Structure formats: structure tokens, C-alpha cells
Amino acid sequence: MLADLEELVCCESFSADHGAVARSAEVVAALGTRLLGAEPETIVIEGVTHLRWAFGAPRVLLVGHHDTVWPMGSLRTHPWSVADGMARGPGVLDMKAGLVQLFHALASLPSPDGVGVLVTGDEEVGSPTSRRLIEETARRCAAAFVLEASADEAGALKTARKGTSRYEVVVHGRAAHAGLEPHKGINAAVEAAHQVLSIAGLGATVTAGAATDADGAAHPALGAATVTPTLLSAGSTRNTVPALARVSVDVRVPTEAAQDWIDARMRGLAARTPGARLEVQGGRQRPPMQPESSAELFALASRLAAELGQEPLRGIAVGGASDGNHTAAVGCPTLDGLGAVGGGAHADTEYVDIARMVPRTRLLAELITRTRTRSRTWPEPGPTRARGGMS
């Protein structure tokens, strides 16, 4: 397993580099083919490479991704290493070790029949090209197991995830010479500053649990939502009144009602500077993964962990989103965080606890065995709503 992990980590796969993602897909495909005895279907959507295996009529879906947040060349500063019981390297925890565990768990079974595997290439950027593929594959399954890393260094599973929305507020002003006639300009930077404060105020409102509907009804669940201005840019030269500014906004929500509430207020932002114009782009990205979608599978995993003599499992809700949000949203019971145990994802300290890899792999193998012959009893989802995307 460590040799396989080294091979995956040493093939860099920065999400923004589609060529690198394609090369990584070849390495992942070769690993899966060797361990499972079957080649995957290679699916390229808008230049992004995804892999899918299907054994029989899949009732269980194993979900992972092979792209990482690490820019090309990161191996020079963060080389693969194994020391003191820890494996390190770009993307080792998020989530190349999870892929290794996925393939070894499935390979340990007498047959992979009844199982599907989907490895996407754009999860780290919100799954813009793979979302429909994920939903289409999950709709036919009775369970989805997501091989994202554990929720903490103690190995907790992820039983709920917040939904995500991303916006970009574009401010249109008018350029003018900053020294000769600034009064003839409309300063987009000043207007952007007003919008940053308005958006931050919206975040403070929901964090305090003080948000209400138009009719004044309170939204208690909004207290767990976050609205955060992130990237900010404005202007073209130092001596020109800025004609354009942009504000990026990250939104995390526990419920679709909260997502709707915040979306309405983002689209209702109004310019404060005379003559300035606002354009709100983006919108909902991933729906929330509700606790109900994982409850039955978490209970099963807890029983199996006890049978295997492993430590008791914990399940927690997390703010980050994954492809598990999409599998749960189409009505497929989903359990997330079954991948590697470690810490420091996306950071210089990223590592995997090597001793936990085999136990987690055995747990996944048992989960597959117990669920792949069951009939789907989960309620079918209602009509799919149109979701906004970044322009």
C-alpha cells in the first residue's frame, strides 16, 4: 500500500493543470487495473479526466478524487517521505491515500461484483465538470462511501457537511485621472469597500442567529451558516480612478433554506456610490449533506468497527464540502471520511498515519460486503432545482 501511495503522490495532479490531471488519471487507472483486474472507463469533460469502474449492476458506489490543491513543482519543497509512522507529500491525505485504501479494500474481496468506483479530477475546485456524472452514477446505488480523509486526527467520520455557494460581486464604475479630474470618475474600489462591509455584516447577522425571512420569521438554522468575503481586486494603474472591482464570497450553509436565504440577499445587494453598478455572479455550488443521509450507514460502520476489534467510531459534521454532498442530494445514503487518518490537509504539515491505513481498509471492505446486495429503500429525490454557477 505504501508503494502504491508513493506512486500516486509522486505524480502531481494540480486541479488547474488539466495535463497533469490527465497524467495522474493514467497512474490511477493503472493501479486500479492491476488490483481489480479491469480497466476503467476514462471520461474527459471539458478537458478534465475522470475514471469510472462498474462491476455488474453497482449497488455500492465508492467515491474519490485524484486532483489536489498543490501547484506543480510542490514535490521539490514537499517531497514524498515516510518517517516516524507518517507518510508525507502533496495530496497524501487529501486524498491519494484514500484511493489506495479504496482499491485495496475492493481487491481484498472475493469479487467486486455489485460495486462501482468513481474517481473524479476536479473535486478540489467544486466538481464543475463531474457533478452530473456523480449524480447520474449515485442515483442507481443503495449506498455511497466517500474516501475523503477522516474529519480529525482521531479518525472521526464525516456524517454531515455544509453546502457551499460561491459568488463574485463585480463593481462597475468609471475611470478618470486620479490627479487631474478624480471627480469625473466613479470609484469602483470605494464601492467594493462598501460591499465588503455589507457582506461581512450579512455573515455577522447569520452567525448571531438574527436572520429573518421577509415576513419576520426567524431562521434558527442560519446561525451555523458563514458568509465570508475572500478575494478582493480593483483598479488598473496607480493614477487612475478604478473602473472595475471584484469581491469573491465564500458561503457555507447547514440547510437548503439557509442557502436560499443567503442567495436572495446576495442578489439583493445595492450600490452605495452614485453611478456605480453591481453584477452578482455565481450562486449555489453544492447542496448540504444532511445527517439523515448518513445515519443508517454510520450505525452499520460502528457495529462493524466493534466486530473488527477497532476503536469506537465518532461521527461529526464539518464545514467543508465534497462529492458526498452530491451523492446524498440525489437520495443515495452516503457516509464520508472513510479514507486515511491524518492531519494538515492542504497545508505544509499534511500527513497520513500509516498504522491506520490497513484497519480503515478492512472497515471499508466489510461495509462493501454488508451493503452491496441490499435493495435501495431511500426515498427518491424530488425535482432537481437549477443551480447557479460561476460565470
Q: What is the pLDDT of residues 262-297, one digit of tens each?
A: 999 999 999 999 999 999 999 999 999 999 999 999
User: Which pLDDT score is estimated for 381?
Assistant: 37
Residue with cell 448540504: 288
User: Which pLDDT score is estimated for 373?
Assistant: 82
User: Which pLDDT score is estimated for 276?
Assistant: 98
The 10s digit of each residue's pLDDT in 153-180 is 999 999 999 999 999 999 999 999 999 9
pLDDT at 39 over 80: yes
Give span(s): CATH 3.30.70.360, the chain: 163-286
pLDDT at 125 over 60: yes
DSSP helix/strand/coil, 12: coil
pLDDT at 374 over 80: no
DSSP helix/strand/coil, 107: helix
Confidence band of 202 (pLDDT split at 50, 70, 90):
confident
Confidence band of 115 (pLDDT split at 50, 70, 90):
very high
The 10s digit of each residue's pLDDT in 298-318 is 999 999 999 999 999 999 999
User: Which pLDDT score is estimated for 269?
Assistant: 97
380 versus 135: which is more confidently predicted? 135
Q: Which CATH superfamily is domain 2-161+288-371 in?
A: Zn peptidases (3.40.630.10)
Confidence band of 376 (pLDDT split at 50, 70, 90):
low
| Residues ≥6 apart with Cβ < 8 Å to 141 | 58, 59, 60, 61, 116, 327, 332, 376
User: Which pLDDT score is estimated for 379?
Assistant: 39
69-73, 218-222, 319-323, 383-387: the lowest-pLDDT one: 383-387
How many other C-beta atoms lie within 10 A of the C-beta of residue 249?
Answer: 25
pLDDT at 389 over 70: no
Residue type, 218: A
User: Which pLDDT score is estimated for 286?
Assistant: 94
**Mode of pairing for the β-strands spanning 86-88 and 351-353:** antiparallel
User: Which pLDDT score is estimated for 375?
Assistant: 58
Is residue 155 within 8 Å of 361, Cβ to Cβ?
Answer: no
User: Which pLDDT score is estimated for 333?
Assistant: 97
CB burial readout 302-316, b (16+ within 10 A) else e: bebbeeeebeebebe
320 versus 245: which is more confidently predicted? 245
Across all residues in the chain, what is the average pLDDT?
Answer: 92
Confidence band of 384 (pLDDT split at 50, 70, 90):
very low
> Which of these CATH numbers, 3.40.50.1470, 3.30.70.360, 3.10.20.340, 1.10.3720.10, describes 163-286?
3.30.70.360
Give span(s): CATH 3.40.630.10, the chain: 2-161+288-371
C-alpha cell at 215: 415576513
